[in-house]
Amino acid sequence: MKLWKFLLFFFLFALATSLFVRISTDGFKEGNVAVISIKGVITNERVLFETNAVSDDILLLIDQAEEDPQIKAVVFEIESPGGYVVPSEEIANKIKTMKKPTVAVIRNVGASGAYWIASATDYVIASKVSITGSIGVQSSYLDFAGLMRRYNVTYNRLTGGEYKDMGSPFKELSEDERVKLAKKINMIHQYFANEVAANRNISSEKMQEIATGEFYLGVEALELGLIDQIGNMDTAKKYLEEKLGKSVSYQYYNKYKPSLKELFTARLFSSSPVSNLEIKVQ
Amino acid sequence: MAKKTVSLPEKTFVPASYWRRLFALVVDIVLLDLFVYMQFSFMFPKTLSFASFKDLAPDQMNMMMMGAMILTFFTLLYFVYQEKTYGQTLGQRIAQISIQAPKEATWRHHLINNFFLIPFFPFLLLWIIEPIYMFVKKERLLETLSTLRTVQEEKL
């Protein structure tokens, strides 16, 4: 048989086989429940060598899961100590707009901003000893003013606006500035607590007792109404099988893959920790 | 006394270079991908990571295994038939290399020569063993076992 005849026969044989297999089977059945991971510090900044939960990426994955007709529910697998306020809020608000059932599974840690996200889902599952809760806000920073004074380093204050350098690590925080910052942090804290209270149907009086920034273990969170069940990913699977009335298989939605351009231009490491006023739910 | 002229051979066969072998393999795999593998893509997940691999349901795993076995069958058929019948695959023809086989070589020898194409353990280990063996011995381990040789023409 000549070579070209063999190749033609070979490819036609492959085509016939693929048609036969396609008719005989359903092919690879993708999962019907999307699993979106929220791992690392919640931020809106993509940093190349750090595992962060980037809000833009997660919002894209949520849209993807909502648009996929094969996906019947979404599980958020959470392993995060929290992060920044705005990205945490963005993800939580996005989850609340979702039409498909949502479940949060808190693994080792799902605290502060990560718990805010979990509370926005329909059902929250955590292990007995998962670290969760920590419904609080912090903006603590190191004050180098004393150290600079010791080494005769002067901070030349040149500002337009009395409170422009409020929270600078190179000068002492005045009482007036402390009061102002505390007020802003309290406002954010109150907003955070109110959101969680609304998400979890907890009264505002009870939320005042819970939202002290204290973290809770899974068993404590269950008693307080912060989670719905003790368990893990298998527990979430059983819950969804009962809710959806069909068998469930997971489809892991991959993390964002940076383009070649982003590999060369992305920030390699996150910003210096000594920066002006970082307010975190972490 | 009449002069005798002796005609020397103009060319000979030498072991094929590493780059020609690699080029031939790439061409063959691309051809197989375009005309065979893509037809069976419905048997595999669109995306798969190590994290999700362990969470595959049994029927999903079975479908993937069946797909892998079918693709292995077609890959071996492509390589073994062409090497036995024509002495070279289409990719090897383009790279100007060929398989030199002794007269007693059978289909079994050609099959052994292509064991590295089987994507299952322990054959996957050949992807590590073959390059190291070739670096030392200047021929593949499977060529030694199958008594076949991959050669290229060289002008004298």
- Determine whether the interchain pair A249/B35 forms a contact, defined as Cβ–Cβ distance below 8 Å: no
Give B49-116 as a DSSP string: -HHHHTT--HHHHHHHHHHHHHHHHHHHHHHHHHHHHHSS-HHHHHTTEEEE--TT--HHHHHHHTGG
Mean pLDDT of A224-242: 96
Range name among A50-54, A170-174, A228-232 with the lowest pLDDT average:
A50-54
Mean pLDDT of B134-150: 90
Mutate which of A28, A36, A75 to disrupt the B interface (most B C-beta within 10 Å)? A28
Minimal Cβ distance to A11: which of B36, B43, B51: B36
- Give residue A278's pLDDT: 62
Range name among A29-38, B50-59, B120-129 with the lowest pLDDT average:
B50-59
- Give residue B51's pLDDT: 55
Q: Among candidates A57, A4, A117, which has minimal Cα distance to A258? A: A57
User: What is the pairing mode between strands A131-133 and A250-252?
Assistant: unpaired
Residue with the two structure tokens 């109404």: A225
pLDDT digits 0-9 by tens, B66-120 = 999 999 999 999 999 999 999 999 999 999 999 998 888 899 999 999 999 999 9
pLDDT digits 0-9 by tens, A187-226 = 999 999 999 999 999 999 999 999 999 999 999 999 999 9
Kindly name the residue from A37, A55, A88, A112 that is annotated as catalytic.
A112
SS3 call for B15 = strand
- Give residue A272's pLDDT: 45
Minimal Cβ distance to B42: which of A17, A28, A252: A28
Residue A112 appears among annotated catalytic residues:
yes
- Give residue B154's pLDDT: 82
Residue A127 appears among annotated catalytic residues:
no
- Give residue B54's pLDDT: 64
